[in-house]
Amino acid sequence: MEHFDLSLVNWSRAQFALTAMYHWVFVPLTLGLAFIIAFMETLYVKTGDEEWKRITKFWMTLFGINFAIGVATGIILEFEFGTNWSNYSWFVGDIFGAPLAIEGIMAFFMESTFIAVMFFGWNKVSKQFHLVSTWLVAVGANLSALWILVANGWMQYPAGMYFNPDTARNEMHNFWEVLFSPVAINKFLHTITSGYVLAAIFVIGVSAWYMLKGRNILLAKRSIIVAAVFGLVTSIFLALTGDGSAYQVAQKQPMKLAAMEGLYEGQEGAPLIVVGALTPGKQFDDDKDPYIFRIQIPKMLSFLGYRSGDAFVPGVKDLVEGGYTYVDKNGVEKVALSAEQKIERGKIAIKALADYTAAKDANDTAAVAYNRALLNDNFEYFGYGYLNNPKSIIPNVPLTFYSFHIMVALGFLFIGFFMLILYLVYFRQFNINKWILRLSILMIPLAYIASQAGWIVAEVGRQPWVIQDILPTVAAVSRIDSSAVQITFFLFFTIFTALLIAELRIMFKQIKIGPKEGGK
């Protein structure tokens, strides 16, 4: 990889990660709060109770603050594909650009059109039309997430495409395979559901603060009921979609699964690590025990990943060295290639593409046919040709492992939390002591930690790939000076931090002010 500027690659990755993580601070609350608001306004329209209108308008104000700043960070994120990742945009722009274009034309248009009615249409349009507008904003926000997550899911598992050697670009041949890829569907459902859970926790936490202060008690109690029911249902669904996502990872990204579990040596009947600590400095080819300690469930990883308790789960070492047997997507049993063999075949594919182009320019039809066949035979390893070290296919195992287990532990904590709140609401008539109320507030930052941890697993766990097996990060970056990326990194860091501080100050101020009297 000596012909690649690794400083440029690392700074480009850092800048994109910075932008994505700041963006994801704002998005999940928007996704979930939009539906909670829609449910609350539905109760207002159905009952005619003005208190529900006042509650709806209060949470709508917090939604609006969060939505505005989320849009700003999202626009910058999309621009970075052209500025920092232009090789990626050239190589797969025909595919990746399609869902993003649909998101802008359809989903974002729906949001931006009806959000004006939602905020400014009170007493100007009928109750029913205003309610429809609120629901369409909620649907539009989640449709935006759909198309973005379809694009991301395609990067994790490229489907519905073929490589055109005449243009040296990947082109879409089946839009529906891209849209309904099992990876994309599971990613969409799991990701938006995490936003629903976060929003439910946010509403409960803010309402708990009001109860501690002895203010807006009716608003707090009603909001807690709606959010706790919404949160419990969606948190259970979140666990189910998490299982589906993990299954897809096992099938499509086995190295990510190995990193998630700190599994260095593959085994049949592999256990699932419930709690554990990795041995610092562990390498895939040394004799160190991977774990300092661990609590595990026997055979559970094999069952979750392959639906059989006795299935073989390859570890990091197996995936680097190859030699184990597996069943491919066509149901054919094969022996896995080593990373070194994949790198060799990737280099064959890259050279075949160059020879194909040269033969085409020379009108050598025999050489054109030969090199095209050679390229087709080896294209599934095309991205490996840009790598020189077999170890480079290993992601950051400790970061992936701990992020995954933090995310899962907090996910089950949230289920228990929602059950506790509903128990206290329905069986103790809102007899919630101060410690539980304080715990509810503490749950808000924990929800954000879980949300960020999920994206760390998804993105760090698939390194070094921008597009799984087809394009690594070293070949995807723009050929620009790394100093330019460093400057914009710190510029964005300053701007995003200022935006986050501004949002927090505005949100805290609005929460302290509380809802307007009478909901006018």
Residue, of 81 and 156, whose pLDDT is higher: 156
Is the domain of 135 the same as that of 40?
Answer: yes
| 520 in Cβ contact with 97 (< 8 Å) | no
Is the domain of 95 the same as that of 152?
Answer: yes
Q: State the DSSP H helix or E strand holding residue 297, giving kind and residue range, or none if neither.
A: strand 291-297
* pTM, to two decimals: 0.92
CB atoms within 10 A of CB 292: 11
Q: Give whole-number Cα distances, 456 to 21, 244, 322, 406, 418, in Å.
A: 9, 18, 27, 11, 25
Q: Give whole-number Cα distances, 238 to 192, 196, 245, 355, in Å.
A: 9, 9, 10, 49
pLDDT at 519: 44
Is the domain of 287 the same as that of 347?
Answer: no
Instruction: Examine residue 460 and state whether it is found in any structural domain, yes or no.
Output: yes
Is the domain of 344 the same as that of 431?
Answer: no
Total count of domains within the chain: 3
pLDDT digits (tens, 9 = 90+) for 198-231: 999 999 999 999 999 999 999 999 999 999 999 9
pLDDT digits (tens, 9 = 90+) for 52-70: 999 999 999 999 988 878 7
Is the domain of 379 the same as that of 400?
Answer: no
Angle at 446 between CA 440 and CA 449, to 5 degrees: 160
pLDDT at 4: 66
pLDDT digits (tens, 9 = 90+) for 66-105: 887 877 777 788 788 888 898 898 898 888 888 888 887 7
Instruction: Examine residue 334 and state whether it is found in any structural domain, yes or no.
Output: no
| Residues in contact with 180: Cβ distance below 8 Å, sequence separation at least 6, in sequence order | none
Instruction: Examine residue 11 and state whether it is found in any structural domain, yes or no.
Output: yes
| Residues in contact with 136: Cβ distance below 8 Å, sequence separation at least 6, in sequence order | 110, 114
Instruction: Examine residue 33 and state whether it is found in any structural domain, yes or no.
Output: yes
Mean pLDDT of 239-257: 93
In which band, very low, low, confident or very high, does the pLDDT at 3 lie, cut at 50, 70 and 90?
A: low
Is the domain of 271 the same as that of 177?
Answer: no
Amino acid at 451: S
pLDDT at 78: 78
Is the domain of 446 the same as that of 466?
Answer: yes
% the chain with pLDDT above 70: 98
How do beta strands 325-327 and 465-467 pair?
unpaired
In which band, very low, low, confident or very high, does the pLDDT at 113 lie, cut at 50, 70 and 90?
A: confident
Q: Which two tokens stand for residue 289?
A: 């025990």
CA dist., res. 471 & res. 155, Å (int):
9
Amino acid at 246: A
Is the domain of 293 the same as that of 217?
Answer: no
CA dist., res. 513 & res. 61, Å (int):
12
Is the domain of 467 the same as that of 443?
Answer: yes
Mean pLDDT of 366-393: 94
Q: Which domain holds residue 356?
A: 339-390
% the chain with pLDDT above 90: 71
pLDDT at 520: 44
Is the domain of 381 the same as that of 470?
Answer: no
CA dist., res. 412 & res. 417, Å (int):
9
Instruction: Examine residue 115 and state whether it is found in any structural domain, yes or no.
Output: yes
